[in-house]
Protein backbone atom coordinates (compact mmCIF):
# COMPACT_ATOMS: atom_id res chain seq x y z
CA UNK A 1 0.00 0.00 0.00
CA UNK A 2 2.52 2.60 -1.10
CA UNK A 3 0.40 4.67 -3.46
CA UNK A 4 0.87 8.37 -2.83
CA UNK A 5 3.08 7.60 0.15
CA UNK A 6 5.87 9.87 1.29
CA UNK A 7 6.91 13.10 -0.40
CA UNK A 8 7.40 11.55 -3.79
CA UNK A 9 9.79 13.40 -5.98
CA UNK A 10 10.19 16.63 -4.10
CA UNK A 11 13.60 17.87 -5.08
CA UNK A 12 12.82 21.43 -6.23
CA UNK A 13 11.74 23.04 -2.97
CA UNK A 14 11.99 26.85 -2.75
CA UNK A 15 14.75 26.50 -0.13
CA UNK A 16 17.23 23.68 0.56
CA UNK A 17 16.11 20.74 2.70
CA UNK A 18 18.82 21.63 5.21
CA UNK A 19 16.90 24.84 5.94
CA UNK A 20 13.95 22.81 7.21
CA UNK A 21 16.23 20.66 9.39
CA UNK A 22 17.90 23.69 10.91
CA UNK A 23 14.66 25.61 11.41
CA UNK A 24 13.00 22.66 13.15
CA UNK A 25 15.97 22.31 15.50
CA UNK A 26 15.91 26.04 16.26
CA UNK A 27 12.17 25.90 17.00
CA UNK A 28 12.82 23.13 19.53
CA UNK A 29 15.63 25.04 21.23
CA UNK A 30 13.57 28.24 21.43
CA UNK A 31 10.60 26.25 22.76
CA UNK A 32 12.85 24.75 25.41
CA UNK A 33 14.03 28.21 26.51
CA UNK A 34 10.47 29.54 26.65
CA UNK A 35 9.31 26.53 28.63
CA UNK A 36 12.13 27.07 31.11
CA UNK A 37 11.17 30.72 31.63
CA UNK A 38 7.38 30.59 31.49
CA UNK A 39 6.43 27.04 32.57
CA UNK A 40 7.50 26.88 36.20
CA UNK A 41 4.80 24.63 37.70
CA UNK A 42 3.03 21.43 36.54
CA UNK A 43 0.15 22.80 34.49
CA UNK A 44 -0.77 19.60 32.66
CA UNK A 45 -1.14 17.51 35.81
CA UNK A 46 -3.48 20.09 37.31
CA UNK A 47 -5.52 20.31 34.10
CA UNK A 48 -5.75 16.55 33.52
CA UNK A 49 -8.90 16.23 35.65
CA UNK A 50 -10.76 18.57 33.31
CA UNK A 51 -14.30 19.88 33.64
CA UNK A 52 -17.30 17.59 33.55
CA UNK A 53 -19.87 18.28 30.86
CA UNK A 54 -23.59 18.15 31.71
CA UNK A 55 -24.80 14.68 32.70
CA UNK A 56 -27.07 14.46 29.66
CA UNK A 57 -23.98 14.34 27.42
CA UNK A 58 -22.64 11.29 29.21
CA UNK A 59 -26.03 9.60 29.27
CA UNK A 60 -26.23 9.86 25.49
CA UNK A 61 -22.62 9.39 24.39
CA UNK A 62 -21.76 6.68 26.92
CA UNK A 63 -25.13 4.93 26.96
CA UNK A 64 -25.42 1.17 26.63
CA UNK A 65 -27.58 1.61 23.53
CA UNK A 66 -24.86 3.55 21.72
CA UNK A 67 -22.23 1.01 22.76
CA UNK A 68 -24.35 -1.94 21.57
CA UNK A 69 -25.22 -0.26 18.28
CA UNK A 70 -21.65 0.76 17.46
CA UNK A 71 -20.28 -2.57 18.68
CA UNK A 72 -22.67 -4.53 16.46
CA UNK A 73 -21.75 -2.37 13.47
CA UNK A 74 -18.05 -2.86 14.21
CA UNK A 75 -18.42 -6.64 14.44
CA UNK A 76 -20.29 -6.67 11.15
CA UNK A 77 -17.56 -4.59 9.54
CA UNK A 78 -14.88 -6.97 10.85
CA UNK A 79 -16.68 -10.00 9.40
CA UNK A 80 -17.26 -8.14 6.16
CA UNK A 81 -13.56 -7.16 5.89
CA UNK A 82 -12.36 -10.72 6.51
CA UNK A 83 -14.87 -12.05 3.96
CA UNK A 84 -13.78 -9.50 1.36
CA UNK A 85 -10.13 -10.39 1.90
CA UNK A 86 -10.68 -14.14 1.71
CA UNK A 87 -13.37 -14.38 -0.96
CA UNK A 88 -13.18 -11.15 -2.95
CA UNK A 89 -11.01 -10.32 -5.93
CA UNK A 90 -7.29 -10.80 -5.55
CA UNK A 91 -6.60 -7.37 -7.10
CA UNK A 92 -5.48 -5.06 -4.30
CA UNK A 93 -7.05 -1.82 -5.49
CA UNK A 94 -10.38 -3.49 -6.28
CA UNK A 95 -10.79 -5.21 -2.91
CA UNK A 96 -12.26 -3.46 0.12
CA UNK A 97 -10.08 -5.17 2.75
CA UNK A 98 -6.59 -3.71 2.09
CA UNK A 99 -7.73 -0.10 1.80
CA UNK A 100 -9.96 -0.36 4.84
CA UNK A 101 -7.34 -2.00 7.08
CA UNK A 102 -4.24 -0.02 6.08
CA UNK A 103 -5.88 3.36 5.44
CA UNK A 104 -9.28 3.81 7.06
CA UNK A 105 -8.58 1.73 10.17
CA UNK A 106 -4.87 2.15 10.86
CA UNK A 107 -4.72 5.84 9.95
CA UNK A 108 -8.27 6.98 10.71
CA UNK A 109 -8.61 5.55 14.24
CA UNK A 110 -5.53 7.35 15.64
CA UNK A 111 -6.92 10.63 14.29
CA UNK A 112 -10.33 9.96 15.82
CA UNK A 113 -8.67 9.05 19.10
CA UNK A 114 -6.69 12.29 19.23
CA UNK A 115 -9.78 14.35 18.40
CA UNK A 116 -12.50 12.62 20.40
CA UNK A 117 -10.85 10.42 23.01
CA UNK A 118 -10.79 6.65 23.43
CA UNK A 119 -13.46 5.82 20.86
CA UNK A 120 -11.92 2.38 20.35
CA UNK A 121 -13.29 1.29 23.71
CA UNK A 122 -16.71 1.45 22.03
CA UNK A 123 -15.74 0.60 18.46
CA UNK A 124 -13.58 -2.47 19.12
CA UNK A 125 -15.30 -5.50 17.54
CA UNK A 126 -13.33 -7.88 19.75
CA UNK A 127 -14.40 -6.14 22.95
CA UNK A 128 -17.97 -6.10 21.63
CA UNK A 129 -17.88 -9.86 21.01
CA UNK A 130 -16.42 -10.48 24.46
CA UNK A 131 -19.03 -8.27 26.11
CA UNK A 132 -21.82 -10.06 24.23
CA UNK A 133 -20.45 -13.44 25.28
CA UNK A 134 -20.34 -12.41 28.93
CA UNK A 135 -23.89 -11.03 28.70
CA UNK A 136 -25.20 -14.30 27.26
CA UNK A 137 -23.42 -16.39 29.91
CA UNK A 138 -24.71 -14.25 32.75
CA UNK A 139 -28.26 -14.34 31.39
CA UNK A 140 -27.98 -18.12 31.39
CA UNK A 141 -27.06 -18.12 35.04
CA UNK A 142 -23.37 -18.85 34.55
CA UNK A 143 -20.51 -16.77 35.91
CA UNK A 144 -18.18 -15.36 33.26
CA UNK A 145 -14.67 -15.74 34.61
CA UNK A 146 -11.31 -15.74 32.83
CA UNK A 147 -9.59 -19.08 32.46
CA UNK A 148 -6.55 -17.81 34.38
CA UNK A 149 -6.54 -15.31 37.19
CA UNK A 150 -6.11 -11.82 35.73
CA UNK A 151 -2.58 -10.60 36.15
CA UNK A 152 -0.56 -7.79 34.66
CA UNK A 153 2.99 -8.82 35.46
CA UNK A 154 3.63 -9.24 31.72
CA UNK A 155 2.75 -5.55 31.30
CA UNK A 156 2.35 -4.29 27.75
CA UNK A 157 4.81 -6.70 26.18
CA UNK A 158 2.02 -8.82 24.61
CA UNK A 159 0.49 -5.69 23.10
CA UNK A 160 3.92 -4.62 21.82
CA UNK A 161 4.35 -8.05 20.20
CA UNK A 162 0.91 -7.84 18.60
CA UNK A 163 1.56 -4.36 17.22
CA UNK A 164 5.00 -5.40 16.00
CA UNK A 165 3.42 -8.30 14.10
CA UNK A 166 1.03 -5.89 12.38
CA UNK A 167 3.66 -3.35 11.36
CA UNK A 168 5.95 -6.20 10.25
CA UNK A 169 3.16 -7.39 7.96
CA UNK A 170 2.73 -3.87 6.62
CA UNK A 171 6.41 -3.00 6.20
CA UNK A 172 8.31 -6.29 5.84
CA UNK A 173 6.00 -8.59 3.90
CA UNK A 174 6.68 -8.56 0.13
CA UNK A 175 2.95 -8.17 -0.68
CA UNK A 176 1.20 -6.84 2.44
CA UNK A 177 -1.85 -5.56 0.55
CA UNK A 178 -2.69 -8.89 -1.07
CA UNK A 179 -6.36 -9.37 -0.10
CA UNK A 180 -5.89 -12.99 0.98
CA UNK A 181 -2.99 -11.93 3.21
CA UNK A 182 -5.08 -9.18 4.79
CA UNK A 183 -8.01 -11.52 5.36
CA UNK A 184 -5.90 -14.20 7.00
CA UNK A 185 -4.06 -11.62 9.14
CA UNK A 186 -7.35 -10.11 10.34
CA UNK A 187 -8.65 -13.56 11.26
CA UNK A 188 -5.46 -14.46 13.16
CA UNK A 189 -5.46 -11.18 15.06
CA UNK A 190 -9.12 -11.69 15.95
CA UNK A 191 -8.19 -15.03 17.48
CA UNK A 192 -5.34 -13.36 19.43
CA UNK A 193 -7.67 -10.68 20.81
CA UNK A 194 -10.58 -12.98 21.69
CA UNK A 195 -8.45 -15.78 23.10
CA UNK A 196 -6.53 -13.32 25.26
CA UNK A 197 -9.75 -11.87 26.66
CA UNK A 198 -11.08 -15.36 27.40
CA UNK A 199 -7.87 -16.41 29.16
CA UNK A 200 -6.94 -13.26 31.07
CA UNK A 201 -10.18 -11.27 31.17
CA UNK A 202 -11.53 -8.48 29.01
CA UNK A 203 -10.11 -5.53 30.91
CA UNK A 204 -6.67 -7.02 31.51
CA UNK A 205 -6.15 -8.06 27.89
CA UNK A 206 -7.49 -4.75 26.57
CA UNK A 207 -4.94 -2.88 28.68
CA UNK A 208 -2.00 -5.21 28.09
CA UNK A 209 -2.47 -7.55 25.15
CA UNK A 210 -4.65 -6.02 22.44
CA UNK A 211 -2.14 -3.93 20.52
CA UNK A 212 -4.58 -1.59 18.80
CA UNK A 213 -6.49 -0.93 22.02
CA UNK A 214 -3.26 0.09 23.78
CA UNK A 215 -2.14 2.27 20.87
CA UNK A 216 -5.45 4.08 20.49
CA UNK A 217 -5.75 4.54 24.26
CA UNK A 218 -2.33 6.21 24.32
CA UNK A 219 -3.26 8.52 21.46
CA UNK A 220 -6.56 9.28 23.22
CA UNK A 221 -4.61 10.72 26.14
CA UNK A 222 -3.81 13.63 23.85
CA UNK A 223 -7.51 14.33 23.24
CA UNK A 224 -9.50 17.20 24.80
CA UNK A 225 -12.23 14.74 25.88
CA UNK A 226 -12.23 11.84 28.33
CA UNK A 227 -14.75 9.58 30.04
CA UNK A 228 -14.79 9.62 33.83
CA UNK A 229 -17.27 7.91 36.13
CA UNK A 230 -19.89 7.64 33.43
CA UNK A 231 -19.55 11.28 32.38
CA UNK A 232 -17.70 13.15 29.68
CA UNK A 233 -14.99 15.59 30.75
CA UNK A 234 -13.33 18.29 28.66
CA UNK A 235 -9.69 19.05 29.38
CA UNK A 236 -6.61 20.67 27.92
CA UNK A 237 -5.18 18.77 24.94
CA UNK A 238 -2.17 16.65 25.96
CA UNK A 239 -3.05 16.95 29.65
CA UNK A 240 -3.92 13.25 29.67
CA UNK A 241 -0.20 12.57 29.17
CA UNK A 242 0.69 14.18 32.50
CA UNK A 243 2.40 11.99 35.05
CA UNK A 244 4.40 8.83 34.60
CA UNK A 245 3.70 5.35 33.22
CA UNK A 246 5.17 2.53 35.28
CA UNK A 247 3.47 -0.28 33.39
CA UNK A 248 6.03 -2.88 32.34
CA UNK A 249 6.66 -2.77 28.62
CA UNK A 250 5.40 0.81 28.21
CA UNK A 251 8.66 1.92 26.58
CA UNK A 252 8.78 -1.17 24.35
CA UNK A 253 5.28 -0.48 23.09
CA UNK A 254 5.90 3.19 22.33
CA UNK A 255 9.18 2.21 20.66
CA UNK A 256 7.26 -0.05 18.27
CA UNK A 257 4.93 2.84 17.41
CA UNK A 258 7.80 5.24 16.82
CA UNK A 259 10.38 2.87 15.39
CA UNK A 260 8.02 1.36 12.81
CA UNK A 261 7.25 4.67 11.11
CA UNK A 262 10.94 5.58 11.20
CA UNK A 263 11.84 2.32 9.50
CA UNK A 264 9.12 2.92 6.92
CA UNK A 265 10.94 6.06 5.85
CA UNK A 266 14.36 4.42 5.89
CA UNK A 267 13.13 1.39 3.93
CA UNK A 268 12.50 3.70 0.97
CA UNK A 269 16.00 5.15 1.05
CA UNK A 270 18.42 4.10 -1.67
CA UNK A 271 20.83 2.47 0.78
CA UNK A 272 18.15 0.07 2.02
CA UNK A 273 16.79 -0.63 -1.44
CA UNK A 274 20.32 -1.39 -2.60
CA UNK A 275 20.73 -3.83 0.31
CA UNK A 276 17.52 -5.63 -0.64
CA UNK A 277 18.70 -5.68 -4.25
CA UNK A 278 21.95 -7.34 -3.17
CA UNK A 279 20.00 -9.95 -1.21
CA UNK A 280 17.87 -10.75 -4.25
CA UNK A 281 20.96 -10.88 -6.45
CA UNK A 282 22.56 -13.43 -4.11
CA UNK A 283 19.48 -15.61 -4.47
CA UNK A 284 19.23 -15.55 -8.25
CA UNK A 285 18.13 -19.00 -9.31
CA UNK A 286 16.31 -19.67 -6.03
CA UNK A 287 12.56 -20.00 -5.89
CA UNK A 288 10.38 -16.94 -5.41
CA UNK A 289 9.35 -18.25 -2.00
CA UNK A 290 12.96 -18.35 -0.80
CA UNK A 291 13.65 -14.85 -2.14
CA UNK A 292 10.52 -13.44 -0.52
CA UNK A 293 11.37 -15.11 2.78
CA UNK A 294 14.91 -13.72 2.74
CA UNK A 295 13.84 -10.15 1.98
CA UNK A 296 11.10 -10.39 4.61
CA UNK A 297 13.59 -11.48 7.26
CA UNK A 298 15.94 -8.65 6.31
CA UNK A 299 13.08 -6.16 6.57
CA UNK A 300 12.00 -7.57 9.94
CA UNK A 301 15.59 -7.25 11.18
CA UNK A 302 15.70 -3.64 10.02
CA UNK A 303 12.36 -2.90 11.67
CA UNK A 304 13.53 -4.47 14.92
CA UNK A 305 16.76 -2.45 14.76
CA UNK A 306 14.79 0.81 14.58
CA UNK A 307 12.60 -0.23 17.51
CA UNK A 308 15.70 -1.09 19.56
CA UNK A 309 17.27 2.23 18.52
CA UNK A 310 14.32 4.13 20.01
CA UNK A 311 14.65 2.18 23.27
CA UNK A 312 18.41 2.77 23.45
CA UNK A 313 18.36 6.48 22.59
CA UNK A 314 15.52 7.22 25.00
CA UNK A 315 17.14 5.15 27.75
CA UNK A 316 20.44 6.96 27.19
CA UNK A 317 18.70 10.35 27.43
CA UNK A 318 16.93 9.47 30.68
CA UNK A 319 20.11 7.96 32.11
CA UNK A 320 21.96 11.19 31.36
CA UNK A 321 19.14 13.18 32.95
CA UNK A 322 19.33 11.02 36.04
CA UNK A 323 23.06 11.63 36.38
CA UNK A 324 22.66 15.38 35.91
CA UNK A 325 20.18 15.69 38.78
CA UNK A 326 21.49 12.75 40.88
CA UNK A 327 18.04 11.14 40.90
CA UNK A 328 17.76 8.11 43.21
CA UNK A 329 15.93 5.95 40.63
CA UNK A 330 15.47 5.50 36.90
CA UNK A 331 13.60 8.26 35.06
CA UNK A 332 12.50 6.00 32.21
CA UNK A 333 8.86 5.74 33.39
CA UNK A 334 8.61 9.45 34.10
CA UNK A 335 9.14 10.77 30.59
CA UNK A 336 7.99 7.88 28.40
CA UNK A 337 4.60 9.49 27.71
CA UNK A 338 6.41 12.44 26.09
CA UNK A 339 7.13 10.10 23.17
CA UNK A 340 3.41 9.63 22.40
CA UNK A 341 2.91 12.99 20.59
CA UNK A 342 6.06 12.22 18.59
CA UNK A 343 4.73 8.81 17.59
CA UNK A 344 1.49 10.41 16.41
CA UNK A 345 3.42 13.12 14.54
CA UNK A 346 5.45 10.45 12.75
CA UNK A 347 2.22 8.67 11.83
CA UNK A 348 0.80 11.86 10.32
CA UNK A 349 4.03 12.76 8.56
CA UNK A 350 4.54 9.36 6.97
CA UNK A 351 0.97 8.56 6.02
CA UNK A 352 -0.76 11.88 5.39
CA UNK A 353 -0.67 11.56 1.62
CA UNK A 354 -1.70 7.89 1.76
CA UNK A 355 -4.70 8.76 3.91
CA UNK A 356 -5.82 11.68 1.75
CA UNK A 357 -5.32 10.04 -1.63
CA UNK A 358 -5.79 6.32 -1.08
CA UNK A 359 -8.64 6.96 1.35
CA UNK A 360 -10.74 8.24 -1.54
CA UNK A 361 -10.80 4.74 -3.02
CA UNK A 362 -13.04 3.61 -0.18
CA UNK A 363 -15.93 5.46 -1.88
CA UNK A 364 -16.08 3.23 -4.98
CA UNK A 365 -14.99 0.19 -2.96
CA UNK A 366 -18.01 0.59 -0.68
CA UNK A 367 -20.24 -0.11 -3.68
CA UNK A 368 -18.17 -3.02 -4.98
CA UNK A 369 -16.23 -4.38 -1.96
CA UNK A 370 -15.57 -7.83 -3.43
CA UNK A 371 -14.61 -6.57 -6.88
CA UNK A 372 -17.51 -8.40 -8.52
CA UNK A 373 -18.84 -5.52 -10.62
CA UNK A 374 -21.51 -4.46 -8.12
CA UNK A 375 -22.76 -0.92 -7.57
CA UNK A 376 -24.54 -1.11 -4.21
CA UNK A 377 -24.56 2.61 -3.41
CA UNK A 378 -24.10 4.13 -6.86
CA UNK A 379 -20.53 5.23 -6.14
CA UNK A 380 -18.57 2.65 -8.15
CA UNK A 381 -17.77 5.19 -10.87
CA UNK A 382 -16.32 7.72 -8.41
CA UNK A 383 -12.91 8.84 -9.67
CA UNK A 384 -10.43 9.65 -6.87
CA UNK A 385 -8.43 12.84 -7.30
CA UNK A 386 -4.82 11.68 -7.27
CA UNK A 387 -3.51 15.25 -7.40
CA UNK A 388 -5.53 16.56 -4.47
CA UNK A 389 -2.29 17.43 -2.68
CA UNK A 390 1.03 18.32 -4.29
CA UNK A 391 4.33 16.76 -3.22
CA UNK A 392 5.41 20.14 -1.87
CA UNK A 393 2.26 20.39 0.28
CA UNK A 394 2.90 16.93 1.66
CA UNK A 395 6.45 17.94 2.57
CA UNK A 396 5.26 21.05 4.42
CA UNK A 397 2.69 18.99 6.33
CA UNK A 398 5.42 16.55 7.28
CA UNK A 399 7.75 19.30 8.53
CA UNK A 400 5.00 21.01 10.53
CA UNK A 401 3.63 17.81 12.05
CA UNK A 402 7.05 16.58 13.13
CA UNK A 403 8.02 19.93 14.61
CA UNK A 404 4.73 20.40 16.47
CA UNK A 405 4.81 16.81 17.71
CA UNK A 406 8.30 17.20 19.13
CA UNK A 407 7.48 20.56 20.74
CA UNK A 408 4.46 18.91 22.36
CA UNK A 409 6.64 16.06 23.56
CA UNK A 410 9.11 18.54 24.99
CA UNK A 411 6.28 20.33 26.83
CA UNK A 412 4.96 17.06 28.28
CA UNK A 413 8.44 16.11 29.49
CA UNK A 414 9.01 19.58 30.95
CA UNK A 415 5.71 19.49 32.81
CA UNK A 416 6.68 16.15 34.33
CA UNK A 417 10.10 17.54 35.28
CA UNK A 418 8.74 20.55 37.20
CA UNK A 419 6.31 18.21 38.98
CA UNK A 420 9.06 15.72 39.82
CA UNK A 421 11.84 18.02 41.01
CA UNK A 422 11.43 20.70 43.65
CA UNK A 423 14.47 22.56 42.41
CA UNK A 424 13.84 24.56 39.26
CA UNK A 425 17.48 24.07 38.32
CA UNK A 426 17.15 20.30 38.55
CA UNK A 427 14.00 20.40 36.44
CA UNK A 428 15.81 22.31 33.69
CA UNK A 429 18.97 20.19 33.84
CA UNK A 430 16.94 17.02 33.54
CA UNK A 431 15.58 18.32 30.24
CA UNK A 432 18.91 18.98 28.52
CA UNK A 433 19.22 15.36 27.36
CA UNK A 434 15.52 15.31 26.41
CA UNK A 435 16.05 18.39 24.25
CA UNK A 436 18.97 16.69 22.53
CA UNK A 437 16.81 13.61 22.00
CA UNK A 438 13.98 15.68 20.48
CA UNK A 439 16.38 17.45 18.12
CA UNK A 440 17.84 14.09 17.08
CA UNK A 441 14.38 12.62 16.43
CA UNK A 442 13.20 15.71 14.53
CA UNK A 443 16.19 16.06 12.23
CA UNK A 444 16.45 12.31 11.80
CA UNK A 445 12.75 12.03 11.01
CA UNK A 446 12.91 14.81 8.42
CA UNK A 447 15.96 13.24 6.82
CA UNK A 448 14.21 9.87 6.59
CA UNK A 449 11.17 11.47 4.98
CA UNK A 450 13.35 13.35 2.49
CA UNK A 451 14.86 10.03 1.35
CA UNK A 452 11.49 8.54 0.36
CA distances for 153 relative to 125, 210, 252, 340, angstroms: 26, 15, 15, 23
> Which tens digit of pLDDT belongs to each residue from 92-124?
999 999 999 999 999 999 999 999 999 999 999
- pTM metric for this prediction: 0.92
**Residue 139 confidence (pLDDT):** 87
> Which tens digit of pLDDT belongs to each residue from 81-100?
999 999 999 999 999 999 99
Percent of the chain scoring above 90 in pLDDT = 72
**Residue 375 confidence (pLDDT):** 94
**Residue 48 confidence (pLDDT):** 84
pLDDT tops 60 at residue 232: yes
- Whether 310 is covered by a domain: the verdict is no
Instruction: Give mean pLDDT, residues 283-289.
Output: 86
- Whether 350 is covered by a domain: the verdict is no
In the chain, the number of structural domains is 1
Q: Which domain holds residue 227?
A: 53-235
What band does 13 get if pLDDT is binned at 50, 70 and 90?
low
- Whether 62 is covered by a domain: the verdict is yes
- Whether 449 is covered by a domain: the verdict is no
> Which tens digit of pLDDT belongs to each residue from 300-355?
999 999 999 999 999 999 999 999 999 999 999 999 999 999 999 999 988 988 89
> Which tens digit of pLDDT belongs to each residue from 421-438?
989 899 999 999 999 999
Amino acid sequence: MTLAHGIGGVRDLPVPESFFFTTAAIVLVVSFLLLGVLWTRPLLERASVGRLLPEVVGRIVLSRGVRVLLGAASVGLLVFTIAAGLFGTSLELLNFAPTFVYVTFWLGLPLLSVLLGNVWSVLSPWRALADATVWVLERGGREARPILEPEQRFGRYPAAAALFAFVALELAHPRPALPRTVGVAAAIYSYWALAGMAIYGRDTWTRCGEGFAVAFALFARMAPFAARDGRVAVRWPFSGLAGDDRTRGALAFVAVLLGSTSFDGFSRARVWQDLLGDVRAELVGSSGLVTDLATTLVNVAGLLAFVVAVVLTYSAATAAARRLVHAPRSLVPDFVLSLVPIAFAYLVAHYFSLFVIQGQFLIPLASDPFGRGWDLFGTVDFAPNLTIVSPETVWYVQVISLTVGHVAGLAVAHDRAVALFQSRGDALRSQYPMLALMVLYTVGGLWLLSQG
